[in-house]
Amino acid sequence: MIISLIGAPGSGKGTYGLLLASRFRNSTFLSVGDILRTSAKHDHAMKEVLVSGSLADDTMVGDSVLGHLEKTDVSATNSNLIFLDGFPRNKVQTTIQSKWPSHLQPKLALQFDIPDSISITKLLGRRKCSICGVGFNINGVDTDGFIMPPILPKEGDCKVCCNWETDWEKRDDDTAETIQKRMNVYHTETEPILKYWRENDRLLRFVPYNGVKDMDMLVEVL
């Protein structure tokens, strides 16, 4: 069964998706961003779109995702669950996936629901070590019932190979202006498809008040 992960930028759906895949036997996490980058290696049109920084059109995205799922051969791998991050993102993509073979269509949507202000705080705190590639988050949250401490290096993480103060980098698109634009796109394009999932009784809503510490609760729901 394929479960579509839905959430605003910074809601943590990628992080939770990876954690969920590690908790369920024969499960897989797929990111549409990774799928598109893989497609670009042999698809010149997709490569041009990604290099230009433009958004791939819905048909192109749908074809890439479907092609990847077909190659994955969901039934042959006996994969009980596939957590799909990033598709469908809007009403057009919802229509596209409804025409796919039944076993390749997402059967449920899992919404990660947190306030914009908290998502923005976490996005602005993202850091990555330029030496070893380990990711951290320097911003903590403790408001409106949400308690998410900073995610800082532990003993043995990113300690020998780099200097924490000079080698941590921000993503170029993690600016307040860019993040707000991404939030606006989510609210205008992605949020409306929640109605589709809800009306078909296929929407699960998860509010991670304690961040990844609430993983056990999420696993029980699934």
Q: How far apart are CA 64 and CA 151, in angstroms?
A: 33
Nearest to residue 125, comparing CAs of 133, 134, 135? 135
Note the pLDDT of residue 44.
86
CA-angle at 41, arms to 39 and 42, nearest 5°: 75
Residue corresponding to tokens 């800082």: 152
Q: What is the dihedral of CA 165, 137, 183, 81, to 10 degrees?
A: 140
Note the pLDDT of residue 203.
96
Residue 148 contacts residue 112 (beta carbons within 8 Å): no
Note the pLDDT of residue 157.
63
Note the pLDDT of residue 113.
96
Residue 198 contacts residue 108 (beta carbons within 8 Å): no
Note the pLDDT of residue 79.
57
Note the pLDDT of residue 134.
78
Q: How far apart are CA 145 and CA 137, in angstroms?
A: 19
Residue corresponding to tokens 């969901």: 74
For residue 58, give both structure tokens: 């819905």
For the chain, which residues score pLDDT lower than 50? 76
Note the pLDDT of residue 184.
93
Query: Could you tell me which residues are beta bridge partners of residue 83?
Result: 3, 29
Report domain 2-113+189-221's class.
alpha beta
Note the pLDDT of residue 45.
86
Residue 13's H or E segment, with its range, is helix 13-23
Instruction: Describe the crossing of helices 58-72 and 44-52 by its angle, rounded to 10 degrees.
Output: 120
Note the pLDDT of residue 152.
80
Q: Return the domain boundaries, the chain.
A: 2-113+189-221
